[in-house]
Amino acid sequence: MEIISLVFIIIIFLFSVVIHEVSHGAMANALGDPTARLMGRLTLNPLKHLDPIGSVIVPLFLILISLGTGGGIIFGWAKPVPFNPYNLRDQRWGPAKVAAAGPAANFLVALVFGLFIRFFPLSLFPITQNLLVLFSYIVWVNLLLGIFNLLPIPPLDGSHILFALLPASLENLKLTLQKYGFIILIFFIFLFFQLLIPLIQWIFQFIVGYSLF
């Protein structure tokens, strides 16, 4: 992958993560918890959300690896938006709604830019071909973020949705996942992450009308 493409993907990734986190906070605020709003986290200013390690060091390290190998995983994270679940009016489903807001925002971004690509002939004009590539990356990155975060592995959003659905009789499963979630997540990223790619490709093609890769 060319270095220019990698830089564009990293920039898109960071802003997409910011949108993801702000959506968590906005949903929590709408459901009665103002924690994120009071801490100034309901802003699209990336400086309020970027984590030095997850937003800078890890992505740059992975970029260097990708440049050396010709491909690889581009991964990172932002500072989670804080929220207090005890402030939510809906104690049963509120945490699941807050968790689902992040991936939902990514899917909405992917859908908007994907449909724009599909119904506007950007590829017909040389001046808009670079815009076509940029929008395609936006769709791809946001689909990746949305699908990845729905995995039911702590601390990903999908785990909070799963915990809301689990009956009380499976409390031990919840505790086990919480205890070993990060280890399971690292294991998944390095051994099974590529399994998500065909699903992302299929959804991308379904929305946009062509395959990116």
Distance between CA atoms of residues 102 and 108, nearest Å: 10
Burial of 84-99, coded b for 16+ CB within 10 Å and e otherwise, reads eeeebeeeeebbbbbb
Minimal CA–CA distance to 139: which of 203, 213, 62?
A: 203
Distance between CA atoms of residues 195 and 197, nearest Å: 6
Cα-based torsion angle of the residue sequence 171, 174, 176, 180 in order, rounded to the nearest 10 degrees? -170
Among candidate residues 14, 15, 21, 22, the one labeled active-site is 21
Active site residue 2: no
CB 94 within 8 A of CB 85: yes
Distance between CA atoms of residues 88 and 113, nearest Å: 32
Q: What is the DSSP letter of 131?
A: H
Amino acid identity at 143:
L
- Residues recognised as catalytic: 21
